[in-house]
Structure 1
Amino acid sequence: MSQTFEAQQRVPDAMAGQRLDQAAAELFADFSRERLKAWIKAGDLTLDDRPARPKDKVYGGEWLRLCTEVEDDTRFEPEDIPLDVVHEDDQVLVINKPPGLVVHPAAGNPDGTLLNALLHHDPALASVPRAGIVHRLDKDTSGLMVVARTLTAQTALVEQLQARTVSREYDAICVGVMTAGGTVDAPIGRHPKDRKRQAVTASGKPAVTHYRVVERFRAHTHVRCRLETGRTHQIRVHLAHLRYPLVGDPVYGGRLKLPAGASETLKEILREFPRQALHARKLAFVHPGSGEQVSFRAALPDDLLMLLDYLRDDHRTMR
């Protein structure tokens, strides 16, 4: 079974000089570069309504138009995995993802993912690329994600993400006492020595995180972060760059620091906290069906509430 997919994207001036297939891969991020190259060669993806070659250069201002047949994705099996559905209509699903759930199958996680759960919840999502997933959360980050239920909705949401008009706000608990909020404007790319990590690097892509202090403790801070961009591990990398890494972050957390005089219970909690203390608390976007702005919130999960309670007790006791 297949359905017609139609979308268009204007090439930003910043992409001037890129190959057509490279620009297309960024502008139509739901499809692989190889798939897009095949559509360019077949004439399904045109440049200003003219056939082109994958290696042709773009100069900015052109229109890429894609009109093709998309087959149902049958590579992945539906699995009966419980979902916390915050909102559901004929265009979108909003999910409150628990920590520990991988979003998309990959090497090391071939099944048991959010994608498998979505296909069980709504088998029709097999006809939408990536089962409608338009953005991701790390495995051990909890909180809100929007899923498109139609190709049209997916295109609209991807365009909003690219235009940076989707509002995403996170709660984080970091090591160290922040004096004030601020903005981190620092490009993020692959770590030059460890390809499994991200890092602030001059060759990276633009990345902007706004943050403010919610509550201070003796040796930790509860902060609220708002993403302007959506790079891999962005909040984790940016806060570590400021030397305020997230509690429990196994990749960017650095050496464990325990507050002097803390209770044995708090020390044990900090030693054993099983994930980065990060939660996507708020999500807002223009609904692809109604055209109206919609907003959703997800309360802090129990593990972060418990951590905050112990940090408050420690703060009161040691003052």
Structure 2
Amino acid sequence: MIQILAEDGAPRLDRFLADRFPDVPRARWDAHVRTGAVRVNGQSVSKGGTKLRPGDQVETELPVIPAPAAHLEAEAIDLPTLFEDSQLWIVDKPAGMVVHPGPGHAGGTVVNALLHRLQTPLASGVGEEEGEEESEELSTGWPGLVHRLDRYTTGCLCLAKTAEAQRAIQAQFKARSVEKRYLALVRHSPRLPQLGTLLVDEPIARHKQDRLRMVVAAGGRPAQTRIRVLARTTSVALVECELLTGRTHQIRVHLAHLRAPLLGDPLYGGPGRWKDAAGEALVLPHPALHAWKLSVDHPLTGARIDAVAPIPEAFRTLAAALGLPEL
């Protein structure tokens, strides 16, 4: 915890943090604040420009700063290709694969695979001065990334092959012109429509005690998810989730808010064990979430690219075991 002293004056929050921790750029602090990871006097704030007063108490953890591309290793990792040309590479990410290096995952990531495919260094298309959102749907400065998927989420992941393409696709994400649809297996909930569509419009912030979790909370960042029930039994449902914004863990948080958590997602209340239609025990090793469809405009031609990731066999098998119609 940091306490603001009288001699500090009334600085902006992001500038104050950048002065206290000069190894972290101010734009990175601004992005970190926007995730809800910084609290002032016990309250999460979402703007780097928040004015501080003498006596204010600031709590936070140091943000993670991506490694520069020059320090990353190119690795020959085979990924299923959904679309590829000189500007973009859209892949079908497998479950368990991390998108970019981090603690415990120095290699074997999608970024490592991209660098090998290019065979030439690729600088990030986003400068620190521009600021990046720490969300699943925007890059955090890693080369080639325009959005992210959780480690165990399968399906469509778009990668940029040039800095210009990275900037262009990120602009589409910010303008919300990218279409992103997911398939999910969830616990049955009376808050879900019988067979129809529901718009969840609830702000999301980082949990104040558990920093690994996000929650629906007043004062959080605006978040919208359109949820359509495709099939259901008395205990489970197959839903399609369309992301209208891109907050961290957005689908998982909004489904948990509806009391319909993802199967295999204990972090948000989803069971790690279940019984199939015959009453036999099932072990669910990871959240049942698949990034099914992704539509973006080509950064050079403007042509719409519609990528569809085949539903994984494990997802199909689980849905069938739960008594849902064949996918």
| TM interval, short-chain normalised | 0.7 to 0.9
Q: Distance in 2 between matches of 1:278 and 1:231?
A: 16
* Aligned residue type for 2:206: R
Q: Distance in 2 between matches of 1:165 and 1:125?
A: 29
Q: 1:216 to 1:150 in 2, by over 3 A?
A: same
Q: 1:245 to 1:233 in 2, by over 3 A?
A: same
Question: Does 2:223 match 1:227?
Answer: no
User: What TM-score comes out, normalization by structure 1 length?
Assistant: 0.73
Offset at residue 21 of structure 1 (A): 7.3
Q: 1:20 to 1:89 in 2, by over 3 A?
A: farther
Q: 1:36 to 1:206 in 2, by over 3 A?
A: closer
Q: 1:181 to 1:117 in 2, by over 3 A?
A: same
Offset at residue 285 of structure 1 (A): 1.1
* Aligned residue type for 2:146: V
Q: Distance in 2 between matches of 1:56 and 1:215?
A: 46
2:111 corresponds to which of 109, 115, 138: 115
* Aligned residue type for 2:148: R
Offset at residue 80 of structure 1 (A): 1.8
Could you say which residue in structure 2 is the equivalent of 1:91? 87
> For the Cα contact (< 8 Å) 2:122–2:163, is it kept in 1?
no
* Aligned residue type for 2:185: I
1:215 corresponds to which of 231, 234, 255: 231
Offset at residue 310 of structure 1 (A): 1.2
Offset at residue 156 of structure 1 (A): 0.7
Name the count of aligned residue pairs. Answer: 254
Offset at residue 258 of structure 1 (A): 4.4
Q: Distance in 1 between matches of 2:112 and 2:187?
A: 35
Q: 1:288 to 1:20 in 2, by over 3 A?
A: farther
2:25 corresponds to which of 24, 30, 34: 34
Q: 1:254 to 1:74 in 2, by over 3 A?
A: same
2:73 corresponds to which of 52, 74, 77: 77
Could you say which residue in structure 1 is the equivalent of 2:184? 172
Could you say which residue in structure 1 is the equivalent of 2:169? 157
Unmatched runs of 5 consecutive residues or more in structure 2: 1-10, 16-22, 29-47, 51-67, 126-141
Higher alpha-carbon deviation: 121-130 or 205-214: 121-130
Offset at residue 200 of structure 1 (A): 0.7
> For the Cα contact (< 8 Å) 2:263–2:271, is it kept in 1?
no
2:293 corresponds to which of 282, 289, 310: 282
> For the Cα contact (< 8 Å) 2:188–2:232, is it kept in 1?
no
1:47-67 C-alpha deviation (Å, 9 max, x unpaired): xxxxxxxx999xxxxxxxxxx
Could you say which residue in structure 2 is the equivalent of 1:201? 217
User: What TM-score comes out, normalization by structure 2 length?
Assistant: 0.71
1:253-299 C-alpha deviation (Å, 9 max, x unpaired): 3456746x94243xx22xx1111000011001111010122211111
> For the Cα contact (< 8 Å) 2:265–2:272, is it kept in 1?
no
Could you say which residue in structure 1 is the equivalent of 2:38? none
Secondary structure of residue in 1 paired with 2:157: strand
Q: Distance in 1 between matches of 2:289 and 2:148?
A: 14
Question: Does 2:278 match 1:263?
Answer: yes
* Aligned residue type for 1:111: G
Secondary structure of residue in 2 paired with 1:237: helix
1:299 corresponds to which of 280, 299, 310: 310
> For the Cα contact (< 8 Å) 2:70–2:121, is it kept in 1?
no
Offset at residue 250 of structure 1 (A): 2.8
Q: Distance in 1 between matches of 2:256 and 2:119?
A: 40
Could you say which residue in structure 2 is the equivalent of 1:133? 145
Offset at residue 124 of structure 1 (A): 2.6
Q: Distance in 2 between matches of 1:298 and 1:33?
A: 37
Higher alpha-carbon deviation: 175-184 or 94-103: 175-184
- Provide the identity percentage: 41
1:123-179 C-alpha deviation (Å, 9 max, x unpaired): 235334522111000000000011111111111111110111110000001011532
Q: Distance in 2 between matches of 1:256 and 1:110?
A: 28
Secondary structure of residue in 2 paired with 1:124: coil
Alignment map for 1:306-317 (pairs within 5 Å): 306-312=317-323
Q: Distance in 2 between matches of 1:108 and 1:214?
A: 37
Q: 1:255 to 1:139 in 2, by over 3 A?
A: closer
* Aligned residue type for 2:80: D
> For the Cα contact (< 8 Å) 1:134–1:158, is it kept in 2?
yes
Secondary structure of residue in 2 paired with 1:274: coil
Q: Distance in 2 between matches of 1:216 and 1:239?
A: 15
Q: 1:80 to 1:277 in 2, by over 3 A?
A: same
Could you say which residue in structure 1 is the equivalent of 2:136? none
> For the Cα contact (< 8 Å) 1:125–1:132, is it kept in 2?
no
Offset at residue 20 of structure 1 (A): 11
> For the Cα contact (< 8 Å) 2:155–2:290, is it kept in 1?
yes
Bigger fraction of residues in helix? 1
Secondary structure of residue in 2 paired with 1:214: strand
